[in-house]
Amino acid sequence: MKLIITESRRDGAVIKWLDKKYGKLTPRKGIGYEDYFDEKGNNIFSYSYGDITIVSPDLQYDLFNMFGLKRYDLNQIVKPWVEETYGINVDLVQYTTWHCNNCGMYHPTKYHIIE
């Protein structure tokens, strides 16, 4: 069963979920970058030169599959959330892509999805 909700409700649900699951990450500075880790030591995202790169495949999978976000949505929802939660100025939110052996395209998840 697929639920259909309005964008504003979806955005609120995503923000609430991000707060609960990723609201207390620990930053570790490097030269020219800062990585943010969860309590298990998993790197969730990296901040460098104004850009956030989501490096956690689990976070990407949930954002794209559970919430149905698109590229544009990342900068409309995740960007303000990161800025408010971690107090950093973000120009752009990026993500990692994986090559799909099923269709030969690149997807934001490790698994084949229809975009």
With beta carbons less than 8 A apart as the criterion, state whether 4 and 65 touch.
no
Let me know if residue 67 belongs to a domain.
Answer: yes
Q: Is residue 45 part of a domain?
A: yes
Domain count, the chain: 1
pLDDT average, residue stretch 78-84: 94
Instruction: Tell me, yes or no, whether 15 lies in a domain.
Output: no
Let me know if residue 29 belongs to a domain. Answer: yes
The residue type of 7 is E
3-state secondary structure of 50: coil
Does residue 41 lie within any of the structural domains? yes
Higher pLDDT, 52 or 109: 52
Looking at the whole model, is its pTM more than 0.75? yes
pLDDT at position 105 over 50: yes
Range of the domain at 42: 25-107
